Structure 1
Amino acid sequence: MNSKKIIIIGSGITGMSVGCYLQMNGYQTEIYEKEPKVGGLCTSWKKGGYTFDDGLTWLVGSGERHIFNKFWKELGVIPTIKFEHDEVYAKVYLKDGTEFNLYSNAEKLRDEFIRFAPEDEELINRIYSAIKVISNSNLNLEKSPELFTYEDFQVFKETAGPYMKTVKEWEIKIKDFAQSFKSQFIRENFKRIFWFNPDTYMAYFILTLAWCDMGSCGYPLNSSIELSEAIQRRYEQLGGKVYLKSPVEEIVVDNNQASGIKIKKGEYKQADLVISACDGYTTIYKMLNGRFVDDDIRFIYDNLKPTQAKIKINLGLNVDRKDMPRYFNLSFSNTIKTSLDIEVDNFQVNTYSNQTFVKNGTSSLTVTINTDYFYWRNLYLNDKKLYRVEKQRIADEVIHVLDSKFRNVDNHIEVIDVATPVTFERYTNNYKGATLGWEKEEHSFINEKKIRKELPNLDNFFMVGHWTLVGGGLPSVMLQARNLAQLICAKDKKVFSAVIS
């Protein structure tokens, strides 16, 4: 058995996943985490008898038809975490009172679009056909692409050809594609019907709806922290060790080789290999003091946009609101100012009524709303009183919008909890408070090759997570972790093995 010792920085889903796969392959690993619990952004917290969730809205691979289902089983997530696959993936409430259903089933979704825009049936059928190509694809992602032989590539190309062709065909921005509709209603509301950043490619719209059509994009009935703890249990069962309340201050380098870490107490921990599964900027410019950068890395942090900063308004209601959809987008006429330069006219809402999150007869809501990181950072550093006042003001305006639409919201609120981009930054060190890494936009994809897992002139070191790819999310970083474990095994001439829990 290989006794190589590997230290992993960060106990988010990425860190614990790579830890699991390395333990499965005979490595001795330790995870160091600055917070008192695992999970990173995939977490939940309690306040006033309510559980508020951050991180997991739906999970790709919740159903058997997607290859990620097998990977989640390897990590102990399934069957520990239970999922439901709703008929309506999300409901969209438009300003004029119109309600649009984003059905999980592709046929029903096609019919819903045609109901609003019969004149665009041909274009709608193109969307439908693309969804079906993806949902009927059976990608084999078992092997890391970095390890593909020529024969592997040819086999993958043969099986994944229609999938890859469809993704390529839909590399058009959502805002540009919207103008293809004849229906003025759809043209004006398309970015509301699916509320990704309008600069995101349509391919992501197609992929998400295809996963729904496969029955592999389910809503968890358990909280995000339970998912994180399921992977922690799997990791510890495999022999891994997690050290909480152990923030890493420095990655120690000897002769251009990572040789260990120093934690906050100044204590040195030796390692044969160090993996950073935490924030990229913190790793490169703080833990490594900016010593291992080149023009590509400088370009990335100077020019690529992190994902849109968000505020989360969590509400505990002493009434069961099962009348509200589980997941919806609500547009409204009177905008809410969330920073000096940003006014929003819509937000997303998750509704929780099951007893994992609330006591019987109550419910909790999580409202996600766009904002600007620098506005909140400035307030937090220079005017804590105004910082608190602004949090309350936005919460009050959000409550007013919800009350106007659904009634009996305001008079049933027992708990209000507001998280700003600074909250996410403080708890996870995430660059500019961004929770999903780099924004999925054209400029990011053009420069994606500049984003790397290794740093120049530094050996025995890897980075992994949503700062080493464009487009974060739990499935993406889990796959990255699995692929990195394969790469490490290959470098050590070991045959990678993964087993279901």
Structure 2
Amino acid sequence: MDNKADKEKEILIIGGGIAGLSAGIYARKNGYAATILEQHDKPGGQLTAWNRNGYRFDFCLQWLCGTRHGVYHGIWNELGAIQPASTTTSVIDIVVDHEIFIKLVDESGEYGEFFVYADMDRWEAYLKNEVAPEDAQGIHKLCTMIKTCAKLDEFENPPGMRSLWDYACYLYKSWSVIPVIVRYLKKSIKELIDDLGLKNEKLRYVLTQFGQIGEDSELPALGLLMMLAFQHDKNAGYLKGGSAAMTQRVREEYEKLGGKFKFNAKVVEIVVENHSVVRGVKLENGERVLADHCISACDGHTVLYDMLGGGTYDVPSELKKPYEEWSVFTPLVMVAFGIDKTIVSDAHDIGYFSPKSKIQIGRTMADGYNIMNRSMYDDTLAPKGKTVLEIEFMSPWEIWETLSDDEYAQEKEDIKKRCIELLEKHYSGVSANLEVFDLATPRTTARVTGVWKGAYEGFVPGVNNLGTYLPTELDGLTNFSMAGQWVTPGGGLPPSAQSGRWAIQKLAKKDNKKFKH
């Protein structure tokens, strides 16, 4: 007869994206029985791709922080995310480091082309020689700061579980970066540009444009510096096989450890007893699933305002304020084309913008759009001799939330027609070779993943909240914790995976277990 004390603690994880998969893997490594409840028919969440007539359209992976070293790299290794597909394939064969991070093009012709090279020495020479020789001193300062920021790493342990030794090691490794953090953590890119004394109009405009991540939302100066630092350090590469292959590797690791899935299992309620104890969940089909502990690894707004107690939970002010006041990412439209022709682009990602007028794509008046050609360096995305081109642009949620079915269908047709025109503009004659078309709208994202307002990476990291960690355990509520993109501004794959790890670290500590990873 089983001794109850020897039974594995049952954990339910709501959401099978990277945060949920991470929580599941660490749960199994630490002796917990783990079941992931996923509303879709496969795991991955927004780390997803889909096949269409021999082509694969990738919704997510462009570059991944932690492909070479550091705390994030350690997490990816623990999850099996960057492990070779076979014993004859090395990690070097899987990771692609781009020479050009992005190419930007002014469609009006005023500012012409602008390259952002991944190597800061090369970028510095380019900026000094071809863009703004008059700003040589400021350019040197900028590129030096970016290279310095490459020394910055994440904490391995979560807030509240860091020792003095953790902080001492962090300071030792990051000492030279501290002045940059102090100076630019709460400053905008415009303030950075002014501090550097940059005068060249093109350089000033493009750097500001480069930091735009949403409607009226701008990446803080430190965020821009860190993003380019990862590129310079060759620690933010692309994984061949893209989102689908990465998800499959992590899924296999989870299942190898004995983790279980329940697909097509949409959670509508987190069952709370006596307003204080979480006992399990209720699914859309009426089924109740009980557990000793629940981890939400899905949309934070839905959890707090709809799921907990069936929408009766009194959301605390420290969580209510972000959802009421912080900006969220403007959702994306992704339009994908399978093309019966080999196309070589100047860069894997080309961003087109217009400083003096908006660019109309369907109902959206966009500041710009990007055309991505991942199949140049990933032959798993298209058959030999063929190409996948994807157009992405930001499109406010308000455009999509009230469309009728007929209006929605027409909008997709209008977007398709306009995007073919844009492809023809930059790749003349390409429309004659179009074989396959598909698109994902903000409504697609919300339907498949449940994400609030289609905000694919949650809260925008701004000067008011960069580096903030929201509570993941709620006062007065036991047997429950939160993970995923909504627990820290900026979201993305690395913080999501880290949040799943941290959720199990905290649980293991409560249960007096030595955390295993």
**Length-normalised TM-score, structure 2:** 0.89
Over aligned residue pairs, what C-alpha RMSD do you find? 2.1
Which one of 60, 64, 72 corresponds to residue 59 of structure 1?
A: 64
Which one of 52, 67, 89 corresponds to residue 101 of structure 2?
A: 89
Distance 1:290 1:317 in 2: 51
> Hey, what does 2:150 align to over in structure 1?
135
Check whether the contact 2:16–2:38 (CA below 8 A) recurs between aligned residues: yes
Distance 1:146 1:24 in 2: 22
> Hey, what does 2:203 align to over in structure 1?
186
Deviations 1:320-374 (A, max 9, x none): 112352122123587433576x522421222132431111111111211011102
Distance 2:342 2:486 in 1: 39
- Secondary structure at the counterpart of residue 249 of structure 1: strand
Distance 1:140 1:299 in 2: 26
Check whether the contact 1:175–1:199 (CA below 8 A) recurs between aligned residues: no
Check whether the contact 2:15–2:296 (CA below 8 A) recurs between aligned residues: yes
- 1:328/1:194 CA distance change after superposition, 3 Å: farther
- Secondary structure at the counterpart of residue 251 of structure 1: strand
Unaligned runs of 5+ in 1: none
Alignment of 1:389-400 (within 5 A): 389-400=410-421
| 1:161 matched to 2:180 | no
> Hey, what does 1:307 align to over in structure 2?
329
Alignment of 1:125-274 (within 5 A): 125-137=140-152, 139=153, 141-171=155-185, 172-179=187-194, 180-193=197-210, 195-197=212-214, 199-255=218-274, 256-274=276-294
- 1:339/1:202 CA distance change after superposition, 3 Å: farther
Which one of 458, 465, 477 corresponds to residue 458 of structure 1?
A: 477
Q: CA deviation at 1:140?
A: 6.3
Distance 1:265 1:362 in 2: 43
Q: CA deviation at 1:125?
A: 1.4
Q: Which deviates the most, 52-61 or 85-94?
A: 85-94
Which one of 485, 488, 497 corresponds to residue 516 of structure 2?
A: 497
Amino acid at match of 1:307: F
Check whether the contact 1:260–1:273 (CA below 8 A) recurs between aligned residues: yes
Deviations 1:26-51 (A, max 9, x none): 11111111100110000001223321
Deviations 1:1-39 (A, max 9, x none): 672111100000000001111111111111111100110
- Secondary structure at the counterpart of residue 59 of structure 1: coil
Check whether the contact 2:211–2:219 (CA below 8 A) recurs between aligned residues: no
Q: Which deviates the most, 149-158 or 368-377?
A: 149-158
Distance 1:193 1:277 in 2: 30
Aligned residue pairs, count: 490
Check whether the contact 1:2–1:26 (CA below 8 A) recurs between aligned residues: no
> Hey, what does 1:478 align to over in structure 2?
497
Q: Which deviates the most, 275-284 or 65-74?
A: 65-74
Check whether the contact 2:362–2:411 (CA below 8 A) recurs between aligned residues: no
Distance 1:425 1:143 in 2: 32
Distance 1:143 1:444 in 2: 20
> Hey, what does 1:100 align to over in structure 2?
114
Check whether the contact 1:352–1:358 (CA below 8 A) recurs between aligned residues: no
Check whether the contact 1:134–1:207 (CA below 8 A) recurs between aligned residues: yes
Unaligned runs of 5+ in 2: 1-5, 86-93
Deviations 1:245-278 (A, max 9, x none): 1111211112311111122232222211100000
Amino acid at match of 1:150: L
> Hey, what does 1:371 align to over in structure 2?
395
> Hey, what does 1:16 align to over in structure 2?
21
Amino acid at match of 1:185: K
- Secondary structure at the counterpart of residue 378 of structure 1: coil
Which one of 469, 474, 477 corresponds to residue 488 of structure 2?
A: 469
> Hey, what does 2:359 align to over in structure 1?
336
